[in-house]
Amino acid sequence: GPISGVNKDIAVLQCHGDCDPLVPLMFGSLTVEKLKSMINPANVTFKTYSGMMHSSSIEEMMDVKQFIDKHLPPVD
């Protein structure tokens, strides 16, 4: 359904490996463009990781940590 109110300003981080054989990078690119049409495109970040397959990497996990630290309040 339509996204409205505060949800239009939600921050999104989408990560994708450029060698993913299960979900091709093209589908990640199409998904991020669809997201940008639904919410504030300035709040959508798409990161690709060279040589990464359908997995994760330390670089990706560091980017996720930075995103969480920036957008979520600290936990006591």
pLDDT in tens, 49-59: 999 999 999 99
- Position 73 confidence tier, pLDDT thresholds 50, 70, 90: confident
The residue ranges of every structural domain in the chain are 12-71
Q: Rounded CA gap, 62 and 58, in Å?
A: 6
- Position 5 confidence tier, pLDDT thresholds 50, 70, 90: confident
34 in the Ramachandran plot: left (φ > 0), alpha (ψ -120 to 50) or beta? alpha
pLDDT at 76 over 90: no
Q: What is the mean pLDDT of residues 1-30?
A: 91
